[in-house]
Structure 1
Amino acid sequence: MTHNQVQDLHEKYCKQESRISKLEASDQFQNKQLEKLIKKMDKSIEIQTKQLAIQEEQANDDNRLFTIKSGVFIAIVGALIVFLIDGFQFVIVNFLKLL
């Protein structure tokens, strides 16, 4: 091999080393970016999980409130029915007394 060929091979080798270094640096940068993205996604998932838990708790509270309201409504309707039956009995008894 001549000196020029050796020098040419050395330059090609140095260029390849430079390319490899750049690729490695790019890979490291991309890995860091991916790690940051994964951390952000983990935080987002954590926040969404907390929000879902809060929404579920609110839904349970709403269901309890609906159950309480339904119970109160049923009690009021029941009381009205009893009141109407008693009133109806009173009217009938008095009507029969008049006869």
Structure 2
Amino acid sequence: ADEIAELYKRRWQIELFFRWIKHTLKIRHFFGTSENAVRIQITIALIAFLLLRSAHKAQQSVENLLIFTRLVAQNLMQRRQIDHLLDPPPPMIRNDRQMSLRLCQN
């Protein structure tokens, strides 16, 4: 009975870990099935989580972590200082040497 109780405690710790992964790291499913693929996905999610937390601490303009995370996601492809995420986006600079995509409707 003691051994079964100990195994159940270990299993419960694993369940709590996976719950933390799902809720905190936002991992809904694993892309790979091998142990290495799962480890890599968890490691990448942890790195992204820690980078967001430290970037949030380093800036002063957004107090709410969830709002900060959304702003970072919205501005990933723009070159902006982290303290200026709430500012309106800079105007697009048109370069005549750059090709533009025009979608035609027939």
Give TM-score scaled by structure 2 length.
Answer: 0.33
Using the size of structure 1 for normalisation, the TM-score is 0.35
- Greater helix content: 1
By relative contact order (CA 8 Å, sep 6+), the higher-ranking structure is 2
Q: Which has the larger radius of gyration?
A: 1
